[in-house]
């Protein structure tokens, strides 16, 4: 993965499409940029030896229905600016749940890191407010941050409430890590995987990958023209797999249901719309008996 990231980052810089800020280069949408990254997102032990352990820890912390929030490479270049200290789950402000995080980071260390080459700054214990003076006094004086010091191949998992930030890279070489943020299922993802995932990756995606990327809809999330209302949000549930919608769109076959009148009923069939095909092929509850029963109730 280290070589793949280095090559990808260099090519994006050369093409002028790289995401560069004063502190780092970010390589986004890794799901499309190598098979090893897909295995990483699936926590496949063939791609990440500790994958099953990581997944178990995420299940225990976030609940089994968690989703990937983002998956990118953070690259510190020589003499880069430091990143402001921050918490990754501040997007839920003003709420600040103290019982457990809604976001957990998994950092894949692709080379030896330390205070010289920009090992991430962390304040251990900062996920717990230490302020005094009432419920809104979240933080008082904090200890100095420490640089992450770790060997290549190390995996660091940390609470989304921990104060951290990218450090200055004092070396003469780029420093590469990958960060995978995972969130509780009700959180809107930072990366819009529904649009980001390439048709090629989507064609070969496992049910597990689709689930973790947010392609499983349920009554409260990700409905497409109503499809998914009967979905459970669980892995492999065809009643809410919006991957079917993406595939129809990619093939140029998706016709949206617009404004209709009874005159239209005599001119077009339901199969004119992709929704009808998706319903028929994937909604397990949509049997002829069920449809007749529901229609009888409307008479």
* Selection from 205, 161, 175, 157 nearest residue 39 by Cα: 205
pLDDT of residue 97: 84
Integer Cα distance of 23 and 169 in angstroms: 9
Does residue 119 contact residue 147 with C-beta atoms inside 8 Å? yes
| Count of C-beta atoms within a 10 Å radius of residue 122 | 19
Domain boundaries, given as residue ranges, for the chain: 2-183, 219-298
Cβ(34)–Cβ(1) under 8 Å?
Answer: yes
Per-residue pLDDT reduced to its tens digit, 14-72: 999 999 999 999 999 999 999 999 999 999 999 999 999 999 999 999 999 999 999 99
Nearest to 76 by CA among 31, 106, 116: 116
Confidence of residue 235 (pLDDT cuts 50, 70, 90): very high
Q: Is the pTM of this model over 0.95?
A: no
Sorting pLDDT into bands at 50, 70 and 90, what band is 145?
Answer: very high
Report pLDDT digits (tens) over 48-59.
Answer: 999 999 999 999
**What are the DSSP calls for 115-129, one per residue?**
TTTTPPEE-TTTTS-
Q: What pLDDT does 230 receive?
A: 94
Q: Which residue has the higher pLDDT, 97 or 236?
A: 236
> Encoding tokens for residue 124?
């251990």
**What are 251-293's pLDDT values in tens digits?**
999 999 999 999 999 999 999 999 999 999 999 998 888 888 8
Q: What are the tens digits of pLDDT across the range 89-130? A: 999 988 888 889 999 999 999 999 999 999 999 999 999 888
The owner of tokens 């919608």 is 245
Give the mean pLDDT of the chain.
Answer: 95
**Cβ(249)–Cβ(275) below 8 Å:** no
Q: Which CATH superfamily groups domain 2-183? A: q2cbj1_9rhob like domain (2.60.120.620)
With tokens 């007749």, the residue in question is 292
- pLDDT of 136 reads 65
């Amino acid at each position: 993965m280290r070589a793949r990231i280095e090559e990808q980052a260099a090519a994006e810089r050369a093409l002028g499409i790289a995401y560069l800020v004063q502190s780092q280069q970010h390589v986004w949408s890794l799901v499309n940029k190598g098979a090893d990254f897909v295995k990483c997102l699936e926590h496949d032990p063939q791609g990440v030896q500790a994958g099953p352990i990581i997944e178990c820890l995420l299940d225990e912390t976030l609940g089994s229905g968690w989703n990937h929030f983002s998956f990118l490479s953070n690259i510190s270049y020589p003499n880069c600016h430091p990143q402001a200290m921050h918490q990754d789950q501040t997007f839920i402000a003003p709420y600040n749940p103290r019982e457990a995080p809604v976001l957990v980071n998994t950092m894949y260390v692709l080379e030896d890191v330390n205070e010289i080459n920009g090992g991430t700054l962390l304040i251990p214990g900062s996920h717990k407010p230490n302020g005094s003076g009432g419920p809104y006094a979240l933080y008082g004086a904090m200890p100095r941050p420490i640089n992450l010091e770790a060997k290549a191949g190390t995996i660091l998992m940390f609470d989304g409430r921990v104060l951290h930030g990218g450090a200055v890279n004092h070396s003469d070489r780029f420093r590469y890590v990958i960060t995978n943020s995972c969130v509780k299922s009700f959180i809107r993802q930072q990366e819009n995987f529904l649009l980001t995932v390439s048709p090629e990756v989507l064609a070969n995606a496992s049910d597990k990958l689709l689930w973790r990327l947010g392609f499983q809809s349920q009554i409260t999330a990700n409905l497409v023209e109503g499809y998914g209302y009967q979905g459970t949000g669980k892995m492999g549930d065809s009643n809410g797999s919006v991957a079917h919608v993406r595939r129809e769109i990619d093939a140029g076959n998706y016709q949206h249901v617009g404004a209709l009148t009874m005159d239209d009923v005599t001119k077009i069939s339901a199969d004119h719309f992709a929704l009808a095909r998706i319903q028929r092929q994937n909604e397990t509850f949509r049997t002829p008996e069920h449809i007749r029963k529901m229609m009888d109730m409307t008479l």
